[in-house]
Amino acid sequence: MIGLVYNSQSPATAKMVETLEKSVHFPSDHWKCAAGDLEKMSDVLPETSVIVVAGGDGTILRIVRVIAAHGIPMVGINMGRVGFMAEIPVDEAVGKLPDYLDGASRIEERMMLEATVTGSSDSKPRLVLHALNEVVVGRGGVSGLLDIETTIDGVPLTSYRADAVIVSTATGSTGYALSAGGPIMYPETRAMLIQPVAAHTGLSNGVILPDYSVIELHASAAHESVLSVDGFADLKLQLDDVVTIKRSPYTTKFLRAHAPSTFYAALTRRLGLEIL
């Protein structure tokens, strides 16, 4: 079974899905929906073998939260601004999509993160979320820096005095972490990155960790702090909350026809880098 998912906030993506339905031979039991309605498709997701996404990276991040537990691979039609994850150019979608669906592609697996929130009186985490890009502990709507105590595998690393601390996957290294001055990692790298945002004290450089690391973040009580996961699910943290981040049991799977080295060309093009 094939699913077609589009960004409901962009009419062009819905039209693209309609064009695909008219031009590509999908099985009769295929289904389609807006990304925001994907949770309502829980009855068909276990039987779905691939999802075609019309949208940008933001649409993919929204979808991942729903389908990661099902292990469904995606193929993305790039209708966003950057498109590090969506591989097929929109003007080539009709001609190239059948090749992906007929097996002329490989499966690329991306590591994900699991973030849990636990208070001092909680016997178990009260919230568990999974991220493809990053987990962020940052300040809320008020001004002022946070002191974010950071521990790795039970060993204190530092207390960042900063706007936020990002814990990123290799996929997320080209997102928020990059804008904060972090390094770029090849997207299939099994590693985690700790990157502070506007650090005033503590480490100002990013720290790359192996994928089996367990990171704990605890923000001071001086200012309101929030948790953000892939840019969604902003949660106000309580004073005694600890955010624990480790490798997720889930991965995100993409269908890829291009060689792995294509990432470097995409990086040069999409970041506007100039080769002399």
CATH of 2-105+257-270, one of 3.40.50.720, 1.20.1090.10, 3.40.250.10, 3.40.50.10330: 3.40.50.10330
User: Which ranges in the chain are annotated with CATH 3.40.50.10330?
Assistant: 2-105+257-270
- For the stretch 8-35, pLDDT in tens is 888 899 999 999 999 998 988 999 999 9
Helix (H) or strand (E) run with residue 2 in it: strand 2-6
- State yes or no: pLDDT of 106 exceeds 60: yes
**pTM for the model:** 0.91
The fraction of the chain above a pLDDT of 90, given in percent, is 64
- State yes or no: pLDDT of 180 exceeds 80: yes
Query: 39, 66 in Cβ contact below 8 A?
Result: yes
Query: 3, 51 in Cβ contact below 8 A?
Result: yes
Alpha helices for the chain (secondary structure H): 11-23, 57-67, 93-101, 176-179, 262-270
Lowest mean pLDDT among 106-110, 130-134, 199-203, 205-209: 199-203
The yes or no reply on domain 112-250 and CATH 1.10.287.130 is: no
Q: Which residues contact 110 (CB under 8 A, 6 or more apart)?
A: 132, 169, 170, 171, 187, 188, 251, 252, 253, 254
With cut-offs at 50, 70 and 90, classify the pLDDT of residue 116.
Answer: very high
- State yes or no: pLDDT of 115 exceeds 90: yes
- State yes or no: pLDDT of 274 exceeds 70: no
User: Which ranges in the chain are annotated with CATH 2.60.200.30?
Assistant: 112-250
Residues 155, 243: Cα–Cα separation, whole Å: 15
Active site (catalytic) residues: 57
